[in-house]
């Protein structure tokens, strides 16, 4: 049985969900961001136990098909922004999302906006800004290098988007120790 799980955003999430499912005596056949295949098929009481166990760890079982699509969109964006080098891929997110989900992008965009009260494009920008915050905090790259790595056309474009989301320029963010990053599942 395939379980659809909300708020899985990284490899550690996969590890935690895997452990929780094994503790419930389920065989985990496959697990990726947002999905886990288990056997044998859990009955209703086991599904409730799975939901309760995952909820304690900050995850949710999703049974609504539209919500599953939205979670898959989020996982595609998070995977691309946080786990790939955008400078090498030059990704058109709308084409990528539509191709991976085998759905019309206009439909996916409307659905996402309806459920999340934000457009996919704004979600992508928010994810990129969080990644930029991380890179700024590491201090290993200058702003031009970060802009290149994140697939921006220029550091000015990156700075403009960064300021529109945070209210600060990247250099102000770097010097202000009171600013923090947001967990990916809270964006």
- What is the per-residue pLDDT for 177? 66
Q: What pLDDT digit, counting tens, does each position of 6-36 carry?
A: 888 888 999 999 999 999 999 999 999 889 9
Question: What kind of architecture, by CATH, is found in domain 65-187?
Answer: Orthogonal Bundle (1.10)
Radius of gyration of the chain from Cα atoms? Answer: 18
Distance CA 17, CA 129 (A): 27
- What is the per-residue pLDDT for 88? 73
Given a contact cutoff of 8 angstroms between Cβ atoms, the answer to whether 158 and 143 are in contact is yes
Low-confidence residues of the chain, pLDDT below 70?
89, 177-187
Choices 3.40.50.1100, 3.30.70.100, 3.40.630.30, 3.30.70.1280: CATH for 2-63: 3.30.70.100
Domain spans of the chain, in order of start:
2-63, 65-187
- What is the per-residue pLDDT for 10? 84
- What is the per-residue pLDDT for 90? 73
| Length of the chain as a residue count | 187
- What is the per-residue pLDDT for 181? 64
| H or E segment and range at residue 36 | strand 35-39
Which tokens hold the place of 155?
Answer: 């550091």
Given a contact cutoff of 8 angstroms between Cβ atoms, the answer to whether 187 and 123 are in contact is yes
């Amino acid at each position: 049985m395939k379980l659809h799980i909300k708020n899985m955003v990284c490899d550690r999430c996969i590890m935690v969900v895997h452990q929780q499912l094994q503790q419930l005596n389920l065989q985990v056949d496959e697990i990726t961001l947002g999905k886990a295949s288990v056997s044998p098929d859990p009955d209703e009481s086991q599904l409730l136990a799975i939901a309760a166990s995952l909820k304690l760890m900050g995850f949710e079982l999703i049974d609504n098909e539209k919500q599953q699509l939205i979670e898959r969109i989020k996982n595609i964006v998070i995977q691309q922004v946080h786990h790939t080098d955008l400078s090498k891929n030059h990704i058109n997110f709308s084409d990528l999302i539509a191709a991976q989900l085998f759905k019309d992008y206009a439909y996916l965009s409307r659905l996402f906006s309806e459920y999340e009260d934000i457009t996919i494009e704004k979600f992508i920008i928010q994810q990129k800004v969080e990644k930029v915050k991380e890179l700024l905090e590491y201090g290993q790259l200058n702003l031009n290098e970060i802009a290149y790595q994140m697939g921006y056309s220029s550091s000015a474009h990156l700075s403009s988007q960064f300021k529109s989301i945070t209210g600060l320029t990247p250099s102000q963010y770097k010097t202000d120790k009171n600013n923090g990053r947001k967990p990916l599942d809270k964006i």
